[in-house]
Structure 1
């Protein structure tokens, strides 16, 4: 008798993905809709049964260890496939009414998922919408989540008779004990899908990409997460979708950097504009505004434009735009320009070009100076 691995045409160390691919290939070839012959139908059942055993991690491990055709360990006392202390406690627990009782539903809730999206700084300031594609589990379009081929339906399991649970008697050091466990034939569902959907292999869902439009609230920052209930994976058997979490990443901006709810920028002005004063057009996310540079503005001066920053995520109003003024000293002067600057320096008494050393100043330094004067 051939093994389940030989039935599927894979090696004994084949991965779960290789087993799935081999099953799909054979199932498409042997499916009753494609090959209606009785021999193909019988072979299709063997292939499906082999896949059910090898696709279940626990059943495959037991099958590899014992060679049991049904993928379950042989009854005995202790050791692999035997009955030990853990089995005894499980037996008592089940006998007391614990654990799952009755057939399980094939329809199960889907898992939650998380994706990351990148947005522009303007979307963080005002909010907006982002369209993206999500790779996730979706309801099988062929069977609508039922998992059965068209025109077929699950049949009652002939082992557990639809109960999803079976009983077996095992020998323990206390004597014969009856253990209730999940049916190895139907995996606890109480029914068997004899003719799985060729698209989803009986799972009721497939992996696919779907478009999603995400509303971005104003004020979000890098690292914030948006919770979208019911936008996660579809569950097995076409079950309800889980939730989706969207992690935000804000792209860098060529002009602005962010400091909380404020936006920071630098503007470089000529030395003459800093000395004489100027009105400079400045583009913000709300349109053009004017920066009023007062005469005598020093490098590092910060000009503030209130209520033009980032919308507060939890609160009213917006932050400010803070613009730092950088003064540019000319590096290339022609002779006429040099002469004009010399005359300006002469008029201001600065022709010696002497620097001024700033003192540390402050209350304590002045107090120290007075103390030194008094003691000398």
Structure 2
């Protein structure tokens, strides 16, 4: 007999969200659960049918395969991740070799190909890693800092301590697989094994689901983590906080939290790798006569000597005044480009003094540089 459409079984449409799928499953599972329908073979069959449908549709990869190929995606040697669920559920294509060469328990297949295909024991599932994008200032990136971040994640349910069972309740041997965690189907002379669709490989089912987490063993909660940011980080730097990702299921290890750094643009400095660049305006008198000025750096004031006759656009380097190298070994440099400012307003005394200076330089009759005049002679013929 042909299998019913999974969406039809759960009473949702194909565009249903993950939350809508979960709500529909819980409603149907409660309705047909064997504990509420003792001795009702029809209800038990529907409960298994509902569980199978949800096991496929809650997984993004399996759902995509089902939407494209229907039930055929999970029959025979259909491709997918090891440890799939459902009555026809995402068979590992290498299971046929395991059965023929030793049955997955240290047989010849494992000796040649290195283990049992990545199946998790006892149904334990590793928690997913999480990402947190953190914005910091250039000063914080250069000097290092410590930040406290707050985020939400699935954590172990305190009421059932991750077991998914209501306190006082217990786990019972799975009636589908008899505690083996796997079920076997025969096709001719070849046997196929797959994870039990009822217990997800744990070998046990929950007698009474936890009322806090509804049998999942995890609940959403806020977490706070202090993160030490080393000096020298840049946009794209990645920090890892082990075990601060999603909690695992059925005793599985928690995932990690990855903090991705984003350094804000600075109003004064531009960063090029570990060097800093800054433009500083200077008076034209200082550019002509020379002298020294104080310039800003990320670590305080720096002193810059201006040689006599400095031209606008000249770039000076202050060694070691840039951003520290992330892996140690010193700092980058500070590059300062000066822009000579020309006064826009002059009083009579200043104007007279400049006119005298121009006369002394011979600029009154020839205001253009002689070197430029030599280059431009052919254009004036």
> How far apart are the structure 1 equivalents of 2:214 and 2:134?
32
Matched with 1:17 is 19
Matched with 2:246 is 233
Matched with 1:356 is 370
> How far apart are the structure 2 equivalents of 1:180 and 1:39?
29
Q: How many Å apart are 1:104 and its aligned residue?
A: 3.6
1:162 aligns with 2:175: no
Matched with 1:186 is 199
Cα 1:14–1:150 change in 2 (3 A) is same
Matched with 2:337 is 324
TM-score (norm 1): 0.73
> How far apart are the structure 2 equivalents of 1:20 and 1:47?
17
TM-score (norm 2): 0.72
Q: How many Å apart are 1:189 and its aligned residue?
A: 1.5
1:346 aligns with 2:354: no
> How far apart are the structure 1 equivalents of 2:251 and 2:86?
27
> How far apart are the structure 1 equivalents of 2:372 and 2:120?
86
Q: How many Å apart are 1:345 and its aligned residue?
A: 0.6
Q: How does 1:244-263 map to 2 (within 5 A)?
A: 244-263=257-276
1:119 aligns with 2:136: yes
> How far apart are the structure 1 equivalents of 2:319 and 2:291?
20
Q: How many Å apart are 1:113 and its aligned residue?
A: 3.2
> How far apart are the structure 2 equivalents of 1:341 and 1:139?
79
Contact 1:23-1:47 within 8 A present in 2 as well:
no
SS state of the match for residue 250, structure 2? helix
Cα 1:299–1:93 change in 2 (3 A) is same
Cα 1:189–1:359 change in 2 (3 A) is farther
Unmatched segments (≥5 aa) in structure 2:
73-84, 110-115, 376-381
> How far apart are the structure 2 equivalents of 1:12 and 1:261?
52
Of the three residues 218, 236, 241, the one matched with 1:223 is 236
> How far apart are the structure 1 equivalents of 2:272 and 2:139?
15
Contact 1:274-1:296 within 8 A present in 2 as well:
yes
Contact 2:96-2:191 within 8 A present in 1 as well:
no
RMSD (Å), alpha carbons: 4.2
> How far apart are the structure 2 equivalents of 1:17 and 1:94?
42
Contact 1:130-1:214 within 8 A present in 2 as well:
yes
Q: How does 1:365-376 map to 2 (within 5 A)?
A: none
Per-residue CA distance 1:182-238 (angstroms, 9 max, x = gap) = 333323221111322233332222344422222111112222222333332221225
Contact 1:160-1:190 within 8 A present in 2 as well:
yes
1:284 aligns with 2:297: yes
Unmatched segments (≥5 aa) in structure 1:
74-80, 362-376
Contact 1:138-1:234 within 8 A present in 2 as well:
yes
Cα 1:136–1:103 change in 2 (3 A) is closer
Matched with 2:87 is 72
1:297 aligns with 2:318: no
Larger radius of gyration: 1
> How far apart are the structure 1 equivalents of 2:119 and 2:330?
57
Of the three residues 87, 92, 99, the one matched with 2:100 is 92
Aligned residues: 336
Matched with 2:55 is 56
Cα 1:354–1:48 change in 2 (3 A) is same
Q: How many Å apart are 1:117 and its aligned residue?
A: 1.8
Contact 1:139-1:204 within 8 A present in 2 as well:
yes
> How far apart are the structure 2 equivalents of 1:103 and 1:257?
50
1:153 aligns with 2:170: yes
